[in-house]
Structures are given as C-alpha cells and as structure tokens.
Structure 1
Amino acid sequence: MIRFLKFIVLASMVMMMAPGCGSPLKVTTDYDKHVDFTKYKTYRINPVDVRLDAVSQHNKDLLRAAVISEMTKHGFAQDTLKPDIIVNIVTVIRQTKESMAVTDDYAYGGMYRPYYWNTSFGPPVYTTSDANQFKDGSIIIDMADASNQNLLWEGVGSAQVEQPLTNPEGQIKAVVKEIMKGFPPGKTKQTKN
C-alpha cells in the first residue's frame, strides 16, 4: 500500500513537471502609453549587445536580420542617418543551476494508525537530491525615440537555451516574431511578405 501511495505521489509530480520540460518562450512587453506610434516611420538598429555569455557572430547577424524583417513587415523603413526610432538588441545568456531535495519519512504512531508515511514526525528514511544545470537565455528588444532617447517600447523573450541550436535561423526568427507581435501598439499591422 505504501509503495502504491509513493508511486501515485511520484507520478503526479512528474505529470505536473512535464509541461515545463519544453521550456516555452515567456514573452513580456511594455510601452509608453502616452506615445503615438503612428508618427514613427524609420529606424536604425544598434549593434547587438551580448551580456554574460558569448553569442556567435552568425547568430547576432540572424538576430539582426530577424528584427529588420519584423520592422519591415510592420511598415518601418531602415534609415541610418536620421531615424525616428533607435532599436537596441541585447542578449543575456547565463548558466543556471536548479536543485531539488526530497525527504521521505516513515514513522510510528499517530493519525489513528500504527504506521504512516510522509509526516514530520520520526527520523527520515532517505533524502534524494537532484541538481540540473542549464542555460537561461533572454533576448531584449527595446526601442527609443531618436530625438530624446526616451524608451518607447520593450519586448523580452526568455527560455532555456538548447546547445547547439538545431535550426538557428528558424528558431531566432520565431522568437523575434513572437516578441514583436504586439509592436507597434495601437497601430494596425501591415502585412508584407
């Protein structure tokens, strides 16, 4: 009976954790609600800024190309001399460690039974621990007004990074598209292919 209860608890824990194994992209965006985004027509992209861990030049180029593609789809033109918006791209990749310890008890007495499982009474039978290391990555895309450097819009996408990327071009395009799908706020999206 106790083995069955342990199995049920373990199975339910595995089922609760299973959806998180794919590490879906978490996207957050924020913008200045007092800004009329329809007045902005052109942009310039600053060089990609890499924080904490190296990103290859190839992936930086793919990231830049994906942002250019999304800006073009949203009706913006690239202008390096007199842009309306300055686009900054920052990547942050850091090694993260996750630890978990589980202690099971088997004690005598209480709960109207002579023996019971998993309480705080009695000595622990065993403790298991597990450490998992992974890379946590974020792509931050922010846009500032070129005339006064005020932040207009910011999008952040975060997920666990698989090494190496299996399809860098496709994965980077998909992430940038997801981050920028709400940009520009309050403006009807133009679709150009």
Structure 2
Amino acid sequence: MNIKNTTLRIIPLLVAAFYYSCSPSVKVTADYDHATNFSEYKTFAFYDLKAQEGKINQLNADRITKAIRAEMLSKGFVETPSNPDLKVNAVTILKNKTEVTANSNFYGYGGMYRPYGYWGGGAMMGGGTTTFNSYDYVDGSLIIDIVSTKTQKLVWQGIGNAQIDSKPDNPEEFITSSIKKILAGFPPGLAKK
C-alpha cells in the first residue's frame, strides 16, 4: 500500500474527529406515560414558542421550531392548526457555571491516617504547590414536552443537555442535530430504527 494514499485517507478522518470533538456533546434523557397508546396520535401543533427573555434569541427559537417540525413530519405526523392530537412545547434553560480544578505537585513523605491511628513518618520531608484553575461555561438544556390535547396531560418528554464552551460555529446545524437526537425515541415503541 502506498504511504501517500494512506495519509490522504487519514487526513479527512482527523479533520472530522477534530470537528466533532469541538462540538458540544448532547446527553439525552426521555420519559413517557407507559399507559399511552402512541399509535393513536396522527397530528400535532405547537404551543406558541417564543424567545425567552434573556435566555434565547428569536433566531434560535425559530430554529428550534423548524427542527422539531421537520422531525415530527419525518415521523409521519401531520401539522394542523385545528384540533391536533398532540401539542408540542420547547423550553430552554441556560445557566452560567464555573468549574474549579486543583492541580497539586506534592511530593514528600508524611503520615497517613488509618482507623487505628497514624501510620508512617510524621514530618513532611518534601514540598509542593497547588494551582487552582477556573473554567466558565454554559450548562444548556432543551426540554421538549409533548402533550395530549384530549387529556391535556404530558405524554412524552425529552431533555437534551450540553456543556457549551462557546457559541457553536453553525447554530442551525447544532440545534437540528440536537433535536434529532432528543426526538430519536419518539414515539416510544414506534420510533424508526
């Protein structure tokens, strides 16, 4: 095998790995009413999804609506403004957080506590320092609620959570892929494989 051809094949893989490693990783959880017969639902509509004050801008609110609509349509649901079987709502929760880490380069010999007393030498013979680092990020969650209009009860909920270090380069792509991942298990038992 030619080394040049092998290198040319590896470079795109490395670029893809770098690209995806830089994207926030979305963790998904879902819950639903196990007594619900999801095969009865054929139509849907949205609650009035608006930009949330100080949380999300209107561009992203529109992207979320567009991505949910595309997923619901791809699953065979029909959007209708009058008498839908299901109503869909989406809520974002963004929290600014700081993580603090400590790195120690301690060396030496000292005592170690045991339930029956100290063990080892008494005085520290070496030294060390501890460095503290802080890291700011946004803990972001997108919650998708699906409500039965017949019972006015929540029948399915999906939550996507990500630690966001910086604004995604392509917000539309990030939102679309996140919503696809969140809705992958909807409807339960009938989801496409």
Specify the SS of the correspondent of 2:105: strand
Change in 2 beyond 3 A, CA 1:28/1:187:
same
1:102 maps to what in 2?
Answer: 103
Does 1:136 pair with 2:109?
A: no
Partner Cα distance (1:158, 1:21) in 2: 16
Query: Could you tell me how far apart the structure 1 residues matched to 2:135 and 2:143 are?
Result: 25
1:130 and 1:71 mapped to 2: Cα distance?
A: 44
Q: Any unmatched runs of 5+ in structure 1? A: 1-19, 112-118
User: Matched residue of 1:91: which SS?
Assistant: strand
TM score, norm. by length of structure 2: 0.74
| Mapped contact 1:49–1:90 kept (Cα < 8 A) | no
Q: Deviations over 1:86-135 (max 9, x none)?
A: 11100111111100113332224789xxxxxxx99737521111100011
Residue ranges of structure 2 left out of the alignment (5+ in a row): 1-20, 113-120
Q: Secondary structure at the match of 1:125?
A: coil
- C-alpha separation between the residues in 2 aligned to 1:188 and 1:182? 6
Amino acid of the structure 1 residue aligned with 2:33: D
Question: Match for residue 36 of structure 2?
Answer: 35
1:27 Cα offset (Å):
0.7
Q: Determine if the alignment matches structure 1 residue 147 to structure 2 residue 180.
A: no
Counterpart of 2:89 in structure 1: which amino acid?
N
Q: TM-score, normalised by structure 1?
A: 0.74
Query: Cα distance 1:183–1:109, how it changes in 2: closer, same or farther (>3 A)?
Result: closer
**Identity across matched positions, percent:** 36
Cα deviation 1:124-155 (Å, max 9, x = unaligned): 52111110001111111010111222111111
Count of aligned pairs between the two proteins: 164
Q: Which amino acid aligns with 1:74?
A: K
Shift of 1:34: 1.2
Match of residue 87 from structure 2 = 86
SS at 2:135's partner residue? strand
Q: 1:35 to 1:110 in 2, by over 3 A?
A: closer
Query: Could you say what the CA RMSD is over the residues aligned between the two structures, in angstroms?
Result: 2.8
Provide closer, same or farther for how the CA distance between residues 71 and 121 of structure 1 changes in structure 2, counting only shifts above 3 A: farther
Selected match of 1:159 from 146, 159, 162: 162
